[in-house]
Structure 1
């Protein structure tokens, strides 16, 4: 069983909320724990946004609940009607589901039968709920802050390696169709998860002017890395779709196709390694001549094949189109990465763990 940071944060937030409520002598410590559980968010920006939103929702819930109890009592039908009003207000302000649920809890908390004075009772409940929200926000800020940059790059690096590995196998007609289809589905799911992680990373606020520009450029590079990986997946899918037709074309074109695709794959891998600072930023000219793909040469070879065989001349054009799109994304990634390394030479995407110094 794997315990993620958010699970641990939820447990700590509830613990802190209950302890503080006990120290302050609040009789509604349970409500503080419930509020803390609902307020945990995946990043600091959403945590702050949720904190304000849920405080407003609690004020709505407690305030409206207290007024209804004063005027109509706390009959179950009245409570149900009050909850409908509070939900409508929250929806009107476009609050999320957790906030709406917490507002409902606030209504139920203040409208339950009690012997205390209503205003004092409502104040205690509001204080307990607010304490839970503040406890969750404090834990989000101080305990295990999320490192979405590291997680995002590792995910992109891993999923790209998987795609390129299957591309190499597919171009040599060694892949098993059911296994490849399963892998494509898995990779598509992983890319959707990467898109979500990128959204969380982009939401993180930049508080220092010095780090603002590097962070903005990193966002652009990450977005392009994801787009390039998606194009490589589209190329893999195209090879899977046209595998039988590629196998039946002349050997001359098959060899050119495999050679040029290997160069594209190497170019993609080289850019990721360059981003991590693991290879030279300016390779020698001879290396570039060997490894840089020549897509125009590939298209010319394809046209030559079509001129010899009029029967099925357009069957592989979609595959050639996928390769050209993939190559275009790689060139764009190379340009923006070179620009980043030019202006921020000492800020590579290098996430290697710092080596510990061994004392003599």
Structure 2
């Protein structure tokens, strides 16, 4: 079993809420722990938004429950009717499921049978729930703060490496069809996870003016990295779709196709390595001339191959189109990455992984 940061934060938040409740002599410590469990969020911005939202839901739940008990009592039918009203209010305000659940707990906490004075009971329950919400926010902000920038790049780097590896295999007709299909499905799932991580990173707020512009430029670079990886996946899917046709075309075109795709793959890998600071930012011109792909030449070669066969003339043109789109995205990524490195040369992306220390034998 792998323990994630959010699991640890939930446990720490509940512990803090229970300890503080006992320290101040609050009898409803359990409700503080329940509220803390519902309030943990994946980043600080969402944690702050959730804290405000859940405090509002807590006020609605406790306030409405207290008024209903004063007027109608706490019969089970009345409690159910009150919960329906509170859920309706929360849904009207577009609150999330965890907040609605906390509002229901607030209603039940106030309307339960007790010999205590109603206002005193409502105040204690409200204090306990608010304590849990605030404890979760402080733990989320101070304990194991998320590093979505590093996590995002590592995910993009690993996913892109997998795609490019399968591209090399597919162009040489070495891939197993079921295995490739399974890998494509897995990569599509990973891309959705990367999109979610990008969203969490984009929600992080920068309050220092000097750091705000580099963060915005990083967001643009990450977005383009994801878009370029998606285009590489579409190219892989195209090779998977047209594998039989590619295998039976003239050897001349196969060689041109493999050469140009290898150049595109190299260009993509070179940009990722450049972002990590592992290669020179300004390679020599001779190397660029050798490694830069010539997609128009590839398309011309394709058309020349099928000039005498009208039926199959454009059979592989969609594949060439995918390669052109992929190359276009790589050029755009190169442009914005060079721009970032030129304006923020002193700032690091923090992509470098920590090396493990090798213990002497």
TM bin, normalised by shorter chain, reads over 0.9
Structure 1 distance, partners of 2:80, 2:254, is 70
* Aligned-residue CA RMSD (Å): 1.2
Instruction: Find the counterpart in structure 2 of residue 341 from structure 1.
Output: 341
Task: Give TM-score, length-normalised by structure 2.
Answer: 0.97
Once the two structures are superposed, residues 325-352 of structure 1 have per-residue CA deviations (whole angstroms, 9 ceiling, x without a partner) of 0001000000000100010012233432
Instruction: Give unmatched runs, 5+ long, in structure 2.
Output: none
Instruction: Find the counterpart in structure 1 of residue 50 from structure 2.
Output: 50
Structure 2 distance, partners of 1:355, 1:162, is 22
Deviation at residue 317 of structure 1 after TM alignment: 1.1
Is the Cα–Cα contact under 8 Å of residues 341 and 348 in structure 1 kept in the other structure? no
Instruction: Find the counterpart in structure 1 of residue 75 from structure 2.
Output: 75
Is the Cα–Cα contact under 8 Å of residues 14 and 37 in structure 1 kept in the other structure? yes
Instruction: Find the counterpart in structure 2 of residue 174 from structure 1.
Output: 174
Structure 2 distance, partners of 1:251, 1:282, is 35
Deviation at residue 315 of structure 1 after TM alignment: 1.1
Deviation at residue 224 of structure 1 after TM alignment: 0.1
| DSSP 3-state at the match of 1:328 | helix
Instruction: Find the counterpart in structure 1 of residue 162 from structure 2.
Output: 162
Instruction: Find the counterpart in structure 1 of residue 284 from structure 2.
Output: 284
Instruction: Give unmatched runs, 5+ long, in structure 1.
Output: none
Instruction: Find the counterpart in structure 2 of residue 309 from structure 1.
Output: 309
Structure 1's consecutive aligned runs of 4 or more residues displaced over 4 angstroms after TM superposition are 353-357
Alignment coverage as a number of residue pairs: 357
Task: Give TM-score, length-normalised by structure 1.
Answer: 0.98
Instruction: Find the counterpart in structure 2 of residue 28 from structure 1.
Output: 28
Structure 1 distance, partners of 2:354, 2:174, is 40
Once the two structures are superposed, residues 239-298 of structure 1 have per-residue CA deviations (whole angstroms, 9 ceiling, x without a partner) of 000000000111000000000000000000000000111101110001001110000100
Is 1:320 aligned with 2:339?
no
The 1:33/1:341 distance shift into structure 2, 3 A limit, reads: same
Once the two structures are superposed, residues 7-49 of structure 1 have per-residue CA deviations (whole angstroms, 9 ceiling, x without a partner) of 0000000000000000111111000000000000000000000
Structure 2 distance, partners of 1:356, 1:183, is 29
Structure 2 distance, partners of 1:354, 1:113, is 57
Instruction: Find the counterpart in structure 2 of residue 153 from structure 1.
Output: 153
Is the Cα–Cα contact under 8 Å of residues 303 and 314 in structure 2 kept in the other structure? no
